[in-house]
Amino acid sequence: MEPRDFQKAIEGLLFERAEAFESVGSTNDVVAEWTHEGTTGICLAFAEEQTRGRGRSGRRWFTPPGSALAFSLLLDLTAANQATLGKLSGLGALAVCEGLESLYGLSPRIKWPNDVLLDGKKVCGVLAEAHWSGERMQALILGIGINVARTAVPPAELLDFPAASVEEIIGASVDRPGLLRKILERVLHWKERLDEKEFINSWQQRLAYLNESIRLERLGAEPTVGVVKGLRDDGSLKLQVDGEPQYFQAGEIHLRPLSN
């Protein structure tokens, strides 16, 4: 992205610090570094390429040069707590959905807790990280990676879920600065409204596999098979398991449609 396009994408948005890089390890780490330098206001780090992009639990996230949108936001959420953290992936995923809906008329779905799907394939992953100082949450970082061009999509053998790019789905090229702007606007909109019912409703409306059977996989636990029933107010997933509702907090969790 040309520097002037990046500047246009963020024009009028109030960031304490916003920078676009050609290549970094991970934009989440760039923002974490800024907090160590004393930055506390809302910030944005964007990169054309990530050489050590990561997903949850240290998994890799691929961002080849110029093919994606990869960025991280430092969120100035005062009084943030564990409950806020449980909603952050939803915040990122919802903003990406709204960007894709408004610019391209798509109907993306959110594979709870942190993936955005188009035609059942992953086009975006969200990584929410909190930094703690003892009991106190010091920084909340929201990282978003979107496959824009086909070249962003890693080879199938490196994937644990089918993936695609936005351009493959729409069959046309994507205005990366325009999409970035739209997503930033929606993140900034919703971050003030995480405790409102409208936020949970908007997230829930886009849930993948609603009323469908899925297998939920968690580290160190037997998989749970159930029917997706929606979200609780704290962003946890409601599953109907053997006729009883069960709730799951975001964490090291994977959903798999049973029909696949």
List interacting residues with ligand BT5 (CB under 6 A). 26-28, 50, 53-56, 59-62, 70-72, 114-115, 122, 125-127, 143-145, 147, 152-154, 158-160, 163
* Residue with smaller CB distance to ligand BT5, 21 or 240: 21
* Residue with smaller CB distance to ligand BT5, 54 or 238: 54
Provide DSSP, the chain: --HHHHHHHHTT---SEEEEEEEES-HHHHHHHHHHTT--S-EEEEEEEESS-B-GGG-B--B-TTSEEEEEEEE--TT--HHHHHHHHHHHHHHHHHHHHHHH----EEETTTEEEETTEEEEEEEEEEEEETTEEEEEEEEEEEE-SGGGSPPGGG-SS-B--HHHHHTS---HHHHHHHHHHHHHHHHT-TTSHHHHHHHHHTBTTBTSEEEEEETTS--EEEEEEEE-TTSPEEEEETTEEEEE-SSSEEEEETT-
* Residue with smaller CB distance to ligand BT5, 55 or 240: 55
* Residue with smaller CB distance to ligand BT5, 159 or 221: 159
Residue with nearest beta carbon to ligand BT5:
125
* Residue with smaller CB distance to ligand BT5, 31 or 194: 31
Q: What is the nearest approach in angstroms of ligand BT5 to the Cβ of residue 141?
A: 8
Query: What angle in degrees, to the nearest 10, is found between the helix axes of 176-191 and 3-10?
Result: 30
Q: What is the nearest approach in angstroms of ligand BT5 to the Cβ of residue 56?
A: 4
Q: What is the nearest approach in angstroms of ligand BT5 to the Cβ of residue 90?
A: 13
Q: What is the nearest approach in angstroms of ligand BT5 to the Cβ of residue 31?
A: 9
Q: What is the nearest approach in angstroms of ligand BT5 to the Cβ of residue 191?
A: 17
* Residue with smaller CB distance to ligand BT5, 154 or 257: 154
